[in-house]
Amino acid sequence: MRGYDSTSYGAGFVDVYDEWYADVTDVDATVVRMIELAGGGGRVLELGVGTGRLAIPMARAGLDVVGVDASPPMLSKLDERARAESVRVDTVCGDMVDDMPDGPFDACLVAYNTIFNLLDADAQRRCFTEVAARLGPGGTFVVEAIVPDDDAPAGRNVDVRSMSVERVVLSVSDHRPGEQRTSGQFVELTEAGGVRLRPWSIRWAPPAELDEMAAAAGLRLERRDADMAGTPFDGDSDHHVTVYRSARVDET
């Protein structure tokens, strides 16, 4: 999408993110999973931390959380929420490839499709490499994402996301399977506010490609479930939660 960059998503969605995506991931199950992987007081890195939808509950549960996000407005909202709840989440404003904080971390989480916000395969591979370099021995990288639909037709589509007396939100998308790219706009129409555009773009990858990226970075596939609660993954699953573990060993 012309003009789209790493800050576009945050700028477009910060005011509606918590309303629209509060239930996109099972928050309680995510916290339980990360405690299991990192330990009650373990150090967790969350990529694309946003407004703290997951980071704040993880911190409230006793995890030491560091979040990376390219959007200053998203991080500002996270900081406000963390102060209001008297929890601490350290944040880094930057790219989840080139601006990663120092490790080591017991676990890293990239939730619901956030890995696909890196818009080319090289950036996604580098993300795996940078995460692997920051995991402690035996540390884990948890990736939550869709399973791309091989039968989804190429082309443009317009649909109604929501409609009320005062607001209509249209979903406009452009699906390009040959590029593994889908981009779109949520077009919000209100009588009082006129038109608001909320752009998004992803470069998606199937689980097998993510597995290859992980292996190249020195991470081994440990398990794959259909969701954070551990529902078994099978050929009909349209989402996956994959745990990769560092092959590094403690040399001390």
Measure Cα distances from 52 to 81, 119, 142, 219, 223 in Å.
Answer: 8, 23, 17, 26, 26
Identify the pLDDT of residue 229: 96
Query: How big is the chain, counted in residues?
Result: 252
Contact (Cβ atoms closer than 8 angstroms) between residue 69 and residue 75:
yes
Residue 62 CA to residue 88 CA, distance in Å, equals 10
Identify the pLDDT of residue 21: 86
Class of 155-202 in CATH = mainly beta
Mean pLDDT for back-to-back runs of 10 residues, the chain (252 residues):
74 88 90 93 95 96 97 95 96 96 97 95 98 97 96 94 92 95 94 89 97 98 97 96 86 52
Q: Which helix (H) or strand (E) holds 139?
A: strand 135-146
- The CATH code for residues 8-148+205-246 is 3.40.50.150
Instruction: Convert the pLDDT of each residue in 41-84 to its tens digit.
Output: 899 999 999 999 999 999 999 999 999 999 999 999 999 999 99
Q: Which helix (H) or strand (E) holds 219?
A: strand 219-225
Reduced to 3 states, what is the DSSP secondary structure of residue 29? helix
Q: Where are the domains of the chain?
A: 8-148+205-246, 155-202
Per-residue tokens: 87: 């929890």
Could you give the dihedral angle defined by the CA atoms of residues 46, 224, 238 and 216, in that order, rounded to the nearest 10 degrees? 70
SS (H, E, C) 152-199: CCCEEEEEEEEECCCEEEEEEEEEEHHHCEEEEEEEEEECCCEEEEEE
Q: Which helix (H) or strand (E) holds 44?
A: strand 43-47
Identify the pLDDT of residue 130: 98
Assess whether the region 8-148+205-246 and the region 155-202 belong to the same CATH fold.
Answer: no
Residue 190 CA to residue 252 CA, distance in Å, equals 61
Sequence-separated (6 or more) residues with CB below 8 Å from residue 111? 25, 30, 46, 48, 54, 144
Q: Determine phi and psi for 189, rounding to 5 degrees.
A: -115, 120
Per-residue tokens: 79: 């900081």
Sequence-separated (6 or more) residues with CB below 8 Å from residue 82? 52, 56, 59, 88, 89
Per-residue tokens: 199: 């752009």
Find residue 240's DSSP bridge partners: 145
